[in-house]
Structure 1
């Protein structure tokens, strides 16, 4: 059975929580489960909720939306894959930006990517998935 997009999104949110916990030093030298403050976790942003919000630049101009999240394997960075473009019917392309470069100023409003003019976005390299990292899990 092929897993649905919502199951992958749920796994992504769980991975994000685990990533943030390990970055905060909550894990010591031993490996095991950690009791989290669920009230603190609930204050965060859901990956699914972020994907439905538009991304704008600091002038309020629409630039795209979050299409995916990528977690690096080596230095614990998180990237947002943005679908951008489609400015004049050119179609959209994907770019990757560090998640920390996005500003979540309002819990329901657009996400801000400062300095994201159309010209600047078109100069960024197009993001292509590594075919070796795309594995479809079957049960």
Structure 2
């Protein structure tokens, strides 16, 4: 099982990838993700590149509330890919952390902040990994 710190890093990576998609940082971010996930395997790098190219298109085609759902689905998809990568290759933690930090430093905070709504009904249980401020009810603090 993946350590909590690495799972958190994977989640930050998924958010960074999707957050960078609509910015000037996209090509550099995409290239770094391809290198990290591909690890020198041309076929994996090509497949990853094609998958990453879909992100801006999917976000562009979605509108309003649908865009939030698409963004969340994309973040979850890339978080899962990164979690699997880190589980098999924990030595890649430093590279992924550097990528996350570069994206965070390069895009405006407003593009790094997303709302995630989680609902559990009928006795359902959720396990959610998230970083940053978590607001339950009330108004978020002004930043």
Question: TM exceeds 0.5?
Answer: no
Higher strand share: 1
Higher helix share: 2
TM-score, reference length from structure 2: 0.28
Report which of the two structures shows the higher radius of gyration computed on alpha carbons: 1
